Amino acid sequence: MTTSSEAEKLIVVTGASTGMGASTARELARRGFHVLAGVRRESDADTVRAAGIEPVILDITDSGHVEALAARVADDPRPLHALVNNAGIQVNAPVETLPLTEWRRVFEVNLFGHIAVTQALLPALLRSKGRVINISSVGGKYAMATYGAYAGAKFALEAVSDSLRREVAPLGVQVVVVEPGGVRTKIAARGIATANDLAARMTPEQAERYGGLVLANNELMATGTASGLTPDAAAQVVVKAVTIRRPRARYTAGRDAALIMRLGPMLSDRMLDRVLAANLRRHRPKGTAFAHAG
């Protein structure tokens, strides 16, 4: 339940330009918090600025931006109630074909950037006995084909969250992971465009091996996103993690995420391989083929 004291608390939300981050910022502001909404461009700042929402220019991979955010929080008399690490990118390609520069970029944004912001704001969170909310994914538990880099960073974020939770719980800081399934945001469309760009750079031999897989996965991403949660619905899960007095260590967001998390542990690795391969084949464009798993 929201109280009047929440108007005297700060919350930082990274990746708040659009989608789930923007929806989370709006809902938290509606509930009376003062939200520092991380955006990468001035044009995005103009879009998200509203009562209770203060945009801050923030590229979480830029140390200067992170230092400026920490200084902004330190200068504010209001306590920092929560940090919502939401910024992220999606890059899909087979392990063989994804350049190392892209692997590093994914990990810089989806893992190291979150660690940098968390390190910078932990002193404030320790003072206020606040909480860290890390936005992971079902991909943080189960890695589908072409998701090596994305899932790898999310798996790592899950591990870092577990370690951090056990380190700071005795100090009064709570760490919560939110694991969404499909959400109707722009990240999937951008991910498909990136996947197509990377596929165009494959050698003819790689294209023969993986071309059908990439096309099928793009179709699966598009349909999964279209049938997923709205950003506002996903944001409600994040807001619950921010506001509930005794949060769980993990929350799923969406029926697909809940189903995967329940069924996954019941299946052997080989059985799960076959289930995922069969699902991909349903989305394979006519006239294409890719290797059969299992």
The CA radius of gyration of the chain, in Å to the nearest whole number, is 20
Residue-wise pLDDT for 233-274, tens only, equals: 999 999 999 999 999 999 988 788 888 888 888 989 999 889
Q: Is the per-residue pLDDT at 197 higher than 70?
A: yes
Tell me if residue 150 is catalytic: yes
CB 91 within 8 A of CB 149: yes
Q: 13: closest CA among 4, 1, 3, 26?
A: 26
- The CATH superfamily label for domain 4-188+230-264 reads NAD(P)-binding Rossmann-like Domain (3.40.50.720)
Q: Is the per-residue pLDDT at 13 higher than 60?
A: yes
Mean pLDDT, residues 51-68 taken together: 98
Q: What is the bridge-based pairing of β-strands 131-135 and 80-85? A: parallel
**The pLDDT of residue 262:** 86
CB 83 within 8 A of CB 173: no
Which listed residue (142, 147, 150, 251) is catalytic? 150
Cα–Cα distances in Å, from 65 out to 60, 72, 84? 7, 10, 16
Give the pLDDT band (50/70/90) at residue 2.
very low
Residue-wise pLDDT for 66-124, tens only, equals: 999 999 999 999 999 999 999 999 999 999 999 999 999 999 999 999 999 999 999 99
Cα–Cα distances in Å, from 16 out to 60, 108, 164? 12, 18, 23
CB atoms within 10 A of CB 129: 13
Supply 199's token pair. Answer: 């596929």
Q: Is the per-residue pLDDT at 292 higher than 50?
A: no
Query: What's the mean per-residue pLDDT of the chain?
Result: 91
**The pLDDT of residue 289:** 53
At what angle are helices 19-30 and 231-243 packed, to 10 degrees? 50
Give the pLDDT band (50/70/90) at residue 294.
very low
Any idea where the domains of the chain sit in the sequence? 4-188+230-264
E strand or H helix at 81 = strand 80-85
